[in-house]
Amino acid sequence: MSVIHTADDIVPISEFKSQVAEWLRKVAVTGTPVVVTQNGKAAGIVLSPAAYDALTEQARFVAAVEAGLADADAGRVHRSDTVLAGVRKRLGRTAP
């Protein structure tokens, strides 16, 4: 995701509404998000679909890592050889 430039990528909501197609085109072409302001304060961010997908994928990855670390901290982990032995036993196999 590109860096937001205050002069180019922050727009009041009134201007955004009147030129929404142009702003969406700019986001799609540059990949730079646009900050939409209302009453002088940030009210929303417009992202490209690709940038949104990247952010949500990253959030899911971080959540999975945090869940794994929590499992490890709580002792809810097993050695891989123990897990494989259990799988083999359930499948009726004795060798790899």
43/64 same-domain check: no
Q: pLDDT of 54-91, one tens digit each?
A: 999 999 999 999 999 999 999 999 999 999 999 999 99
What is residue 87's predicted lDDT score, i.e. its pLDDT? 92
Distances (CA, A) of 53 to 8, 28, 41: 24, 13, 26
Per the structure, the count of domains in the chain is 2
Q: What is the pLDDT of residue 8?
A: 72
Mark whether 62 and 72 lie in a shared domain.
Answer: yes
16 by Cβ neighbours in 10 Å (0-12 / 13-18 / 19+) ranks as buried
- 57 with 93, same domain: the answer is yes
Kindly state the average pLDDT of the residues 9-13: 93
CATH of residue 16's domain is: 3.40.1620.10
Q: What ranges in the chain are assigned the alpha helix state H? A: 6-9, 13-18, 20-30, 49-73, 80-91
Same-domain pairing of 67 and 55? yes
Residue type, 36: V
Tell me the residue length of the chain: 96
Residue 4 is part of which domain span? 1-47
What is d(CA 62, CA 60) in angstroms, rounded to the nearest whole number? 6
At 92 the pLDDT is 87
Same domain (yes/no): 63, 43: no
Q: How confident is the model at residue 3 (pLDDT cuts 50, 70, 90)?
A: confident
What is residue 10's predicted lDDT score, i.e. its pLDDT? 93
Q: Which pLDDT belongs to residue 2?
A: 67
For 28-46, write each residue's pLDDT tens digit.
Answer: 999 999 999 999 999 999 9
